[in-house]
Structure 1
Amino acid sequence: MANVVKPAVLVAASTSSRAAALFGHLPQADVFHSPDADTLLRETRLRPPDVLVLYTDLPSSVALSEVLGILKSREDLANTRFLAVGSQGLGALLSAGADALMSDSTAPEALAFLISTLLGRVRQQRELAERNLGLLKKLDAWEHEERVRDQLVHMLVHDLKNPIAAVMGLLEIVEEDERLPQDMKELVHLSREETQHLLHLSVNMLDVRKIQAGKMNLDFELMFSPMYTEVIDLARGDVGAGLRERRLTIDVAPNLSPARADPGILRRIFANLLSNAMKHTTKDGKIEIKVLKVAEDVQFTIRDNGEGIPADDIPNLFAAFEQSRLTLHGRFDTGMGLAFCKLAIEGHGGRIWVESVRGKGSTFTFILPLARDEEDDDDFAELVS
């Protein structure tokens, strides 16, 4: 069994009887005596005390307030509590940093009780310091894991994006070759779709990490009705050929008041929501996109008539690595696409939600706030000039 080190109480007084009087009342501590200031300074370096009892009659070549100031400035005594005892000069010691004052006529039992209280505070402070140290170590470990995760995500995107794009290009060339039998063309087409999906997964992982780390800067522009139509058309191309097998309708209200948005990020949001709708609908399934003004927001809805989402899955649907357990195509997904949408929309000052009925489809809705006139006069003047 390991030896338990008792706390140390150092009594600095002109006579050892001061320490002897306390010895029997502090069985939980080791009580020592220092006869003068010079000895006190040496002994505190050999064993820093938990409580230092400083009597005002201690022989010293300098003022005891200066001695206490020296002791208080030492890092190795940061946890020490200082108790000044005497009949005069206590005010100067209090100003120098004494934690408590007592009269030298105080009974040893009462003095020992106060010292025990100070020892308890020292113990609590050390426990808190150890707990904080443990938390700091955990924080360092977490930050290290985050850095490793970030490096892995960057590797996935930057090192794999170009090869994936090259594979997609080669598959497109092969698919367009007239000599290829029809059944092989269908396989190549499927390979292109899955390769496109893989590219979306990797890019979404990177973007979610960037937004969470506050490293993605949004390039806001004033956006009007024709720009929403253009962004949606670009997003359709990003989703892939499978979208052509769905019945897609787009309804953008004319003359919408402008909203501030990043067109590139908005394109990614639509691509992810369209991809999600396509994943949960069959061939010839219906997907509707509507853009209109609601109160002080521009509202975007993407509705499908697919399988719907179980109610138990909806609360966590926008969390990374979460997805609906039901999918018509059995395709694995990290859930990063919807997580990206939520973070990106919130970065615009908007919000997103979903409504779904099992077997009747889902409706994803998000809103972006309209631009405020006082912020956008200069942008509008530049746009129309």
Structure 2
Amino acid sequence: MANVVKPAVLVAATNSARAAALSSHLLQADVVHVGDGESLLRESHLRPPDVLVLYTDFQAAVPLGELMGILRSREDLSTTRFVAVGTQGLGALLSAGADALMSDGAAPEALAFLIGNMLRRTREQRELQEKNASLLKKLDAWEHEERVRDQLVHMLVHDLKNPIAAVLGLLEIVEDDERLPKDMKELVHLSREETQHLLHLSVNMLDVRKIQAGKMNLDFELMFSPMLREVIDLAQNDVGAGLRERRLTIEVSPNLSPVRADPDILRRIFANLLSNAMKHTTAGGHIDVAVMQVGEDLQFSMRDDGEGIPAEDIPNLFAAFEQSRLTLHGRFDTGMGLAFCKLAVEGHGGRIWVESVRGQGSLFTFVLPLARDEEDDDDFAELVS
């Protein structure tokens, strides 16, 4: 077993018998006697005491109040408890920073009891300081890892986005070339779909990190039914040509109460949900989008008749790097698309959830709060001013 270091009690007294009497009642501590100021300073440097007992008849080169102040100012004695014992001059030591006062006529048992309580509090304080230091160290390490991860994600996305977009553009040109044989056109079409997917993955990865770090600022606008329909139409173009192989219906209720939202982010939410529905349905499958008002919220829903999601996958479906184990394709998915949707919807003050039955499809729903009347008035005033 490792040796247990006893707490140290330093007794500054002219008479060494005081330390000896105290030692017999403090078996849990090492009691050390010092008889002069020079010894006190030396011993307290060699082993900073847990408790320092200073008798008022102690002989030192400077006044005891001044000596107490010197000791109190030392960083290595920041957790040391100071006890002043005597019949005269206790007030000066109290002013200089003594933690407790005791009469010189008190029994050694009483002084030992007081010191025992101080040792316990000192031990607890040091344990808390050690825990705090350990937590701070872990926090620093975590923050460093987060900074490195953010820099890596930022570098990857920005270094990959431009060449991926360039490849996507070249593939579009090749696919539109009438001289391309039909079988080759199908391969180029598949390459375009995968390249588009790769572009979505990289952008979603960066945006998820931005939202988690609180670095993505939403540009809210007052949005009505026509704008919502326009956003959904734009999102279709972001998904890719594969969406044309599904039967897509869109119903946006007319004259909806306005909602405050960032059009670009809302477009990204729809693009991710449409892409997810497309991945989990076969050609000819149905995808139904609906926007309607439900109470004080605007409800957006997307239903598909695809493979559905296993019940055990649903609780973690919106977490980054999570995806359903059941898919119609062999493509690896980071799950960043749905993670982005959740963070973006919550950034608008809304919530998102999914309902699914194995083999019957899935229903993704999110709601955003309607704009309050005072917000409507502010935006209207900006429009007419």
TM-score (norm 1): 0.94
The letter for the 2-side match of 1:295 is G
1:64-103 matches, cutoff 5 A: 64-103=64-103
The 2-side partners of 1:369 and 1:259 are apart by 7
Q: Offset of 1:352 from its aligned partner?
A: 0.7
Q: Deviations over 1:30-67 (max 9, x none)?
A: 32233344653454334321110011222356553443
Q: Is the 8 A contact 1:219 1:261 kept in 2?
A: yes
The 1-side partners of 2:352 and 2:130 are apart by 43
Number of residue-to-residue matches in the alignment? 385
What percentage of aligned pairs have identical amino acids? 82
Q: Deviations over 1:229-275 (max 9, x none)?
A: 11111100000000000011111111111111000000000000000
Structure 1 unpaired stretches of 5+:
none
The 2-side partners of 1:96 and 1:247 are apart by 84
Query: What secondary structure does 2:300 align onto?
Result: strand
The equivalent of 2:298 in structure 1 is: 298
The letter for the 2-side match of 1:130 is E
The equivalent of 2:108 in structure 1 is: 108
The equivalent of 2:288 in structure 1 is: 288
The equivalent of 2:19 in structure 1 is: 19
The letter for the 2-side match of 1:305 is D
Q: CA RMSD in A?
A: 2.0
Q: Deviations over 1:189-236 (max 9, x none)?
A: 111101110111111111010000000000011111111011111100
The 2-side partners of 1:240 and 1:179 are apart by 23
Structure 1 stretch 45-54 or stretch 326-335: which is displaced more? 45-54
Query: What secondary structure does 1:282 align onto?
Result: coil
Q: Is the 8 A contact 1:222 1:380 kept in 2?
A: no
The letter for the 1-side match of 2:378 is D
Q: Is the 8 A contact 1:225 1:253 kept in 2?
A: yes
The 2-side partners of 1:128 and 1:184 are apart by 69
The equivalent of 1:308 in structure 2 is: 308
The 2-side partners of 1:4 and 1:47 are apart by 15
The 1-side partners of 2:294 and 2:70 are apart by 69
The equivalent of 1:54 in structure 2 is: 54
Q: 1:166 to 1:258 in 2, by over 3 A?
A: same
| 2:262 equivalent to 1:233 | no
The equivalent of 1:356 in structure 2 is: 356
Q: Offset of 1:330 from its aligned partner?
A: 2.4
Query: What secondary structure does 1:355 align onto?
Result: strand
Structure 2 unpaired stretches of 5+:
none
The equivalent of 1:117 in structure 2 is: 117
| 2:274 equivalent to 1:260 | no
The letter for the 1-side match of 2:254 is P
Q: Offset of 1:296 from its aligned partner?
A: 1.1
Q: Deviations over 1:280-318 (max 9, x none)?
A: 111011111111111111111111111111111111111
Query: What secondary structure does 2:148 align onto?
Result: helix
Q: Is the 8 A contact 1:48 1:77 kept in 2?
A: yes
The equivalent of 2:137 in structure 1 is: 137
| 2:9 equivalent to 1:9 | yes
Q: Offset of 1:151 from its aligned partner?
A: 1.3
The 1-side partners of 2:334 and 2:384 are apart by 42
Q: Deviations over 1:311-338 (max 9, x none)?
A: 1111111111111111112221111111
Query: What secondary structure does 2:10 align onto?
Result: strand
1:91-240 matches, cutoff 5 A: 91-240=91-240
Q: Is the 8 A contact 1:281 1:306 kept in 2?
A: yes
The letter for the 1-side match of 2:272 is N
The equivalent of 1:279 in structure 2 is: 279
The letter for the 2-side match of 1:365 is T
The letter for the 2-side match of 1:382 is E
The equivalent of 1:247 in structure 2 is: 247
Structure 1 stretch 289-298 or stretch 62-71: which is displaced more? 62-71
The 1-side partners of 2:280 and 2:216 are apart by 30
Query: What secondary structure does 1:31 align onto?
Result: strand
The equivalent of 2:346 in structure 1 is: 346
The letter for the 1-side match of 2:171 is L
The letter for the 2-side match of 1:291 is V
The 1-side partners of 2:50 and 2:186 are apart by 80
Q: Deviations over 1:338-383 (max 9, x none)?
A: 1110111111111111111111111111111111121342322333
The 2-side partners of 1:285 and 1:2 are apart by 70
The letter for the 1-side match of 2:226 is P
The letter for the 1-side match of 2:361 is G
The equivalent of 1:318 in structure 2 is: 318
TM-score (norm 2): 0.94
